[in-house]
Structure 1
Amino acid sequence: MPALLEAAPPPVRDPRIRVMVVDDSAIVRGLIVQTLERDPALRVVARAAQGEAALAELDRTAVDVVVLDIEMPVMDGLTALPLILKKRPEVKVIMASTLTRRNARTSLQALQAGAADYVPKPETGGLVGAEEFARELTAKVKALGQARGRGRAAPTAAPAASPAHPAPVVRAAPLSPPVRPQVLAIGGSTGAPPALMTLFADLKGELEQAVLLTQHMPPTFTAMLAEQLERTGERPAAEARDGEPILPGRIYVAPGGWHMTVGRSGKVPVIRLNQEPPEHFCRPSVDPMLRSAAAVYGPGVLAVILTGMGADGADGCRMVAEAGGRFVVQDEATSVVWGMPGAAAKTGLADAVLPLPQIGPWIRRACA
């Protein structure tokens, strides 16, 4: 009787996150590759000098994350972005650009067009030894690579719970009716700028409360974000200024590089800005805003935590709830990265964990 042939074991997939780096500067491209390959969880599998070459690489190479420069010859990053996403919808794209006003505007356009995140790129001469750039880029590539496979569509209902993803705990309904919010405090990071546009479009003409917003962004980017929010939400929006009163109907955006908090001038709530050490590696950070808002407004705070990596905002949400306020978080299915909202949900104090399309209607009901 012939010996039975043993079936060959299935090939083992390399668990490392596969990255493609697209930049027209060979020096910058090489330095980004070196930065990423320091981390054993990452593997650079392709390099390209412009958009057309990147698209050709995608035809022959499996990629999880693309780091995409904006300004390139032949085909720039903004032109290449939708073509990359059409060819490989599951790929996460991080835009890389220097901190100019024009590049900030272009980066925000890219986020609206489907990019998952961006990273501010130092000038070429300062790229060597730029540890903050290296830390941020590596962290974002890893967070997005670990989230690969999640669709870009925003479902209208949360996914069913499973043993691997148990349903988030929300707190029981309060014994007495909640206080009508005086201020809406929003925090977000990776993937949040497009979510903010959706949210403020939903709230257009419906919100009387002041809005405090801390989004993890560098200087210049926050000014551009405020301009977009003003157009989308049809209400005044600007980077916050130290000492200005917090007025109903206005949106106050934490400036890049500054923590935004709430203080008092007599009995009037005012904006306070400081450059105390970063929290969660971020300045601005969401936690200082929420802690101070809870101290000043007490039960009059309604907080919202949108998609983002890390755990910034969870401790602040806990303090909001302890002061009698309320908070809601974006669900995992509609988040690009369920770090910040997931950490806030795990406190067990959230009033709701909702898909992005349901957050605006929830806020309108809460603020009515």
Structure 2
Amino acid sequence: MSSKIRVIVVDDSALVRSLLSEIINRQADMECVATANDPLVARELIRELDPDVITLDVEMPHMDGIDFLGRLMRLRPTPVVMISTLTERGAEVTLRALELGAVDFVAKPRVGIAGGLQELSHQIVDKIRVAAVAQVRRLPREHPSGPGATSSLAPSTPSPAGLLGRLSTEKIVFIGASTGGTEAIKEILVHLPPDSPAIVITQHMPAGFTTSFAARLNGLCQIRVKEASNGERLLPGHAYIAPGGTQFHVGRSGANYVAVVDDGAPVNRHKPSVEVLFKSGAALVGRNALAIMLTGMGADGAAAMREMKDAGSYNFVQDEASCVVFGMPREAIAHGAADEVLALHAIAPALVARLRSSGDRVHHRI
């Protein structure tokens, strides 16, 4: 029995199918067992070959990738890596694919595809490996997947505990996530009340996608969600997402916390890096910080989360059963960084309860 990861490539471009097949077959631990130029062909191949992972293009004949993905995740949940395009439209569709259950995506260039995909080969095969061990869940039959589909979570989603009441503006919530994180972050933010403290977020995501990610969340949440801008004051009732392809951390300007966005080097191979954001929480925010580690592969942010705990932060970590990939949370737990390990759906209520309980005994900086 082969122990290789068995992959089916679905793309309407013969060039892309050939390139992806070649990249996959160069790896000792995986093989491309079939390719398909449209979802109708792919459907029969998936039934016949039962692959471990599927790579899926978005724009194809007969049925677009989103419709196909929705049907696949309802009827035969399989790990999928989307092959997306670096355009605003590509970003929107990719986020929809992640909502429907795709594990991750690769952003292919609009021009110079042959060279571009070869440059991305390490990223492609790494994401296939992650997808092969990811937990995928069956999509509910009532979940819409068409072009006009919207999230099942409406903007009016109530917070789990109403308004927080009087809170210190010194409080800041730090969130780190990677694979599976876009939906996990949404699950938390839509359940937070409008008077929440400032929230700072690093989600591993390339440039060009975080703008759409922030806009999508902003339309669903009671708080305002935006990409962080260098030097802006971090305000209560706002969530700030690290722009893709940059480093993001918290700084001080007089009495205020501010966003620092710069072109720093990758840390733990990531830019943005959770480690960078969480280290600033340990150094500057201390016991006025709360941190959340969500689903993701690797160990980015685990050591810094322990530094936050040692500095007085209260930390929540997502449990294994609710993670798409239990890498970063596992490492955070192994580093002794967790105060509570919770299922994803329990994190927002626990955060609100923690914030409310500290409302009358806030820690003020001197």
For each residue in 1:252-284, what CA deviation from the matched residue of structure 2 results, as whole angstroms up to 9, or x when unmatched? 110011111111112221111111111122111
Q: Does 1:238 align with 2:223?
A: no
Which of the numbers 56, 62, 73 marks the counterpart of 2:44? 56
CA displacement 1:226-252 (0-9 Å, x = unmatched): 112212222211111111111111111
Mapping for residues 1-368 of structure 1, pairs under 5 Å: 13-89=1-77, 91-128=78-115, 130=117, 133-147=120-134, 151=137, 182-205=171-194, 207-368=195-356
Amino acid at match of 1:288: V
State the shift of 1:40 in Å. 1.1
TM-score, normalization by structure 1: 0.85
Contact kept in structure 1, 2:55 and 2:82, CA below 8 Å: yes
Distance in 2 (CA, whole Å) between partners of 1:273 and 1:126 is 30
Q: Which has the higher contact order (CA 8 A, sep 6+)?
A: 1
Which amino acid in the other structure matches residue 210 of structure 1? Answer: A
Whether contact under 8 Å (2:295, 2:325) holds in the other structure is yes
Give yes or no for contact 1:214–1:260 (8 Å, CA) kept in 2.
yes
Task: Compare 128-137 and 353-362 and name the one that shifted more.
Answer: 128-137
* TM-score (normalised: structure 2): 0.85
Runs (4+) of structure 1 exceeding 3 A deviation are 129-132, 150-154
Q: Percent identity?
A: 39
Deviation, 1:122, is: 2.0
- Equivalent pair of 1:305/1:340 in contact (CA under 8 Å): yes
Distance 1:180 1:252 in 2: 15
In our comparison, the structure showing a higher alpha carbon Rg is 1
Question: What is the CA distance between 1:187 and its match in structure 2?
Answer: 0.8
Q: Does the CA-based 8 Å contact 1:209-1:249 persist in structure 2?
A: yes
Q: Determine the C-alpha separation between the residues in 2 that align with 1:98 and 1:123.
A: 6
C-alpha displacement of 1:349:
2.6
TM superposition shift of 1:147: 3.2
Matched to 1:191, the amino acid is G
Deviations 1:36-93 (A, max 9, x none): 222211111121111111111112111111110011112211111012223322x111
Q: Structure 1: where are the runs of 5+ without partners?
A: 1-12, 155-178
Aligned residue for 1:233, secondary structure, equals coil
Calculate the aligned-residue CA RMSD, in Å.
1.9
